Amino acid sequence: MSSMNVKRGDVVEIIVGDEKEKGKRGKVIAAHPTDNKVIIEGLNLVKKHIKPRNAQEKGGIVDQPRPIDASNVMVVCPKCGKTTRVGHTLTADGKKFVRACKKCGAVLDVKEDKSTAKKSAAKTSTAKTKTTTATKKKAETKQEITKEE
Ligand SMILES: [Zn+2]
């Protein structure tokens, strides 16, 4: 069985189905390659009855996205914004194939998540350093006060 071209995090458009859902776009929040299904955020909703599992939880009816056949959706290229068939292109180092837009050639497997995580981690450590310096200064001030006494 060929592997599914739709992956979690992709934006896809529903290309077949009833008028209510056809043409709508959403983000894939789960992909199930074994049964060729994807779950799209906010689309193909089904009313689901929820039973409260504890006192804090409210029961009731919620709209939950239902899995949709991956063949009913097309990947939307983040660069050209068009629905596209997924092609495969070699990475710059020629070591592996990545998914690419057949219309504009943009690589779809962008590793944005990693760089974003790195950036935010760097920010956090800078903030921490600042806090440490501030705490140190405070401590110094306190010491001076103690000396004066
Ligand atoms: Zn494209």
pLDDT digit string, tens, across residues 13-58: 999 987 889 999 999 999 999 999 999 999 999 999 988 888 888 8
CA of 94 to the centre of ligand 1 (A): 21
How many whole angstroms from 88 Cα to the centroid of ligand 1? 13
Mark 97-129 as b/e (b = at least 16 C-beta within 10 Å). Answer: eebbbbeeebbbbeeeeeeeeeeeeeeeeeeee
The single-letter code of the amino acid at 95 is: K
For ligand 1, the distance from its centroid to the CA atom of residue 110, given in whole angstroms, is 13
Whole-model pTM above 0.85? no
Which residue segments constitute the domains of the chain, with CATH numbers given? 1-76 (2.30.30.30)
Distance (angstroms) between ligand 1 centre and the Cα of 112 equals 17
Q: What is the pLDDT of residues 73-98, one digit of tens each?
A: 999 999 999 999 999 999 889 999 99
CA of 75 to the centre of ligand 1 (A): 10
The larger pLDDT score, comparing residue 83 to residue 126, is at 83
